[in-house]
Amino acid sequence: MQIPQLGAGTFRLKGDEAVQSVAMALEAGYRHIDTAQIYGNEQEVGQAVSASGIAREALFITTKVWMDKLSDQQFLPSVKQSLQDLNTDYVDLLLIHWPLADDSVAMGDYLRSLKQAQDQGLTRHIGVSNFTVAQMRQAIEILGEGVLYTNQVEVHPYLQNKAVVEFCRAHDIIVTGYMPFAYGDVLKDDVIVEIAEQHQATPAQVVLAWMAANHFVTIPSSTKRTNIDSNLGYVNVSLSEQDMARIATLDRNHRLANPDFAPQWD
């Protein structure tokens, strides 16, 4: 199963809210669920998936290894704990959540642990998240071409991340864009709103259609059933070349995910 273009993100969702959000997404037709160790909701995601009755092979589940679990001693045990929490024998995609800013664990070491997880059948695909061009180049030197499935990075009309996107495309690495709505900022943009009105669509559908037209996978999160259902309607929005050109002009390096441990961005 290839990664579905639209997935249900679970960042910041806790407890019953996480269970309900994932359950609603699965009921609506989503088959791609994204979580992470640091989100603290893998058990809730697993609970919703198990209760859905959907066959495991019909789902694409992603999780991510956090920075404090990258050592040789902790990496694979942490992945096995994630699988236990998710109530599954494997994930479809396992990511390094953030590259380390220091050399407390060498990239070669934690990427080899990532590949080991794949070789042991704990995950079908492996990838990275929040890696710069230089870091992706280093990762390819370590693992070889064709091993990294995706780089999950912040992408939306206000942050189009062109250098990273171009590098990924040149190396057949899928770009997974998180926070596609920039916490709602782009949904209020005059250009997005105007295009939405022209297409009788919502601003969110226009953004998701733009993501799809650019061949980005994306993982918005929502706790509202109306939004979860409505987002799926992006497939009915066909943006013109003029629409795409107008959205391209919105790029303004508006980065929201920039913690103190972030790399030097491209």
Active site residues: 39
**Which among 104, 174, 99, 102 is positioned nearest to 138, based on CA atoms?**
99
Q: Which of 67, 12, 58 is nearest to 31 (CA)?
A: 58
- Residue 230 three-state SS: helix
Other C-beta atoms lying within 10 Å of the C-beta of residue 12: 12
Residues in Cβ contact with 166 at an 8 Å cutoff, skipping those fewer than 6 apart: none
Residue 91 bridge partners (DSSP): 123
What is the per-residue burial (b if ≥16 Cβ within 10 Å, else e) of 89-116? ebbbbbbbbbbeeeeebebeebbebbbe
